[in-house]
Structure 1
Amino acid sequence: MRLRGTLVISIAFLIVLASLYYPSKLNTANAMVKGNTLTYVSPKTDKLITVFTELNIGKILGSFKDESKLLIAAGERTFNNESYSESNWDIYIVDPNTKYKELIYQEAKNAQLSPNEKFIAIVDKEDNLHVFNVEDNSTRLISAKIHSGVSTPKYWSPSGEKIAFMILENDVASGIYTFDLSNNTLKKISTDEEDVKYHSFFITWENETSLIVVESPLERPEDLKLTGYEENGSRHHLMNLSVEKGSVIDDISHNYILIRSSLDGAIELYDRTNYKKINDIKGPVDDEQVFRLANIVGESERIFIKEYKYIDGIKTTNKTSVFDISKSNEEVISNDIIDLGE
């Protein structure tokens, strides 16, 4: 993973690689923002649920399984030449019924609820990784200077007791690690040889003892593949990835992988049990200004698809829809133009 002076890659190709290394959005709830109103798609019902809060513009990062509490990032966005920074969110736990809100961290880039709902992983504005304990409200530093990537990987193992991440050394990714919260054990998963030989980026857990990593050799950066990194040191090939199509991994669940073409917005749906393609979801028709993002709603059979445009530098929705995997049917649920908090 260390860069070598002899390695020369075009800027355009690096952008494609960077977008491929991480799923774009990996939230359990898919949120839109309109003023002080937060709207998200329920992982249970696919219904749009509106939450009124006193918080400033933000995004819903996740919901507890019974939807009694939401994990929300709130804060002001600073515009600069039609762009904005979202690295200073305040992180809240909010009761959507009583509107009670609890501030748990200030000035964070992102936060992620663990599957067992006991912990919240928080990446601060300096890329340090913290874990917030939901039960006792304590916060502990897990690692300094992690690689937070183009977008956030899925840090948590299926049990919610382990967290995986990449560490930066002199601003270069220098290793993939796991930390076991049950016994406070830090373990390096990538080897020193792999760190030198490959550009390797952790994106999610395959199971409780194995990570899914995007891997490309330094001498052949176009040869991208998904590889399983076992904690015991073994490796196994999962699937190859296409950079010619500008492929971007939008999301990975226990059952599916979404790979989107950045060229036309078409989405390829793969079965994660055998890594075979099972469906194609066509992109926007004859509109080069429409961009697309797709997320699997929790671990369900539903895909939340957002089409958006940039209007005067502001990211706004063009259309939102839900694709039912079992029925191969896409249903538009909103055509409103809504300012996005993501």
Structure 2
Amino acid sequence: MHSSTSNSDSPDKWPETYWRRPIPTAHWQGVSLLTALLVLAFLFVWETWWRLDGYEPSFEETAELWARMRDKAGTGAPDEVVYIGSSRIQFDFDMAVWQQDFGGSKPIALPKVGTCPRPFLSDIADDPDFKGVLICGVTELLFFAPDMSPPHSEATAYLNHRKNRPISSRTDFLLSVPLQSALASLNAEDLKLGTLLRKRWLALPNREGSRIMPDLPPYFARIGPDRRYHMWSRMEQEAPLQEKVQQIWLPWFTMGPPFAGEGLDALIESVRLDVEKIQARGGRVVFVRFPSSGQLRSIEKARWPREAYWDRLLEETGAPGIHFEDHESLQGFVCPEWSHLTRVDAVTFTRNLIPFIKEVL
């Protein structure tokens, strides 16, 4: 009887096909060419589909793109212009108009959508090589957000990325630039497969009684390599899209009580110290309140009254400020989704804003 471990049933010589799988005979060059053509055809159709839907090539908002812009700041030149803030200044401040009407070098864009600009203010205040003009946009919900809140933490994450940038991050960015510049279908906000499945193709309602964070707005801006935001043409023209984003803003701007009390006192004091550092070495800081409109502006007035926030910020820091409601030429702009200006209005607003900035510098 054979042992269970016996290999006496094995053939003396395994057939060659047992060890080596023969490659089928085929015209592999033709197969490769056909595969490449099918892939290119799919990409062409995919790209054309989304361009017909109004999408444009746009850079992705990333920490690496921000860090590359930050590397350009701090030249020591007194005419250097840097601006920080949240999304309003990114949409509403036109760098080309500034350079044309104000003169000097092109401003460096360092805002970040949905974040508190105070960490960026502190970073520039601690940079001994910055001696220029710093324009800081103020959106009360975000500017007066407490430390450790998501708006503050997201800005801090950008600073941390710059301090600890891996080589792979720089390489990935450089490799992606030609594609981001050419393809609308690479839109990271709306056109990722997961986003399309979740929000377009298989959109499911939330369970009744579920407690979740409000949605974030969909894509409505084209981002240039200089981080300048241009409002999407469909947002400027389509009322349903405008109304959709308006309704998204409401829960964000009414969530929880506004920051106040001793915490607000400490916050404004920290801003004062940062402004003082910049001014001590010859730099200048200007705060700007960009337009908002509709129901959103009514909410902002009720929750963040000027005398308790904006006026106090200027009084205690000693820095000049320009509020759109204080000057006739800065009034009357209607934000399509209540919070940001159209491309044309951004040009006009910037041109009207420049004389007031010149006046306070």
- Is TM > 0.5 for Structure 1 vs Structure 2? no
Higher radius of gyration, 1 or 2: 2
Structure holding more helix per residue: 2
Higher relative contact order (CA 8 A, sep 6+): 2
TM-score by length of 1: 0.25
Structure holding more strand per residue: 1
TM-score by length of 2: 0.24
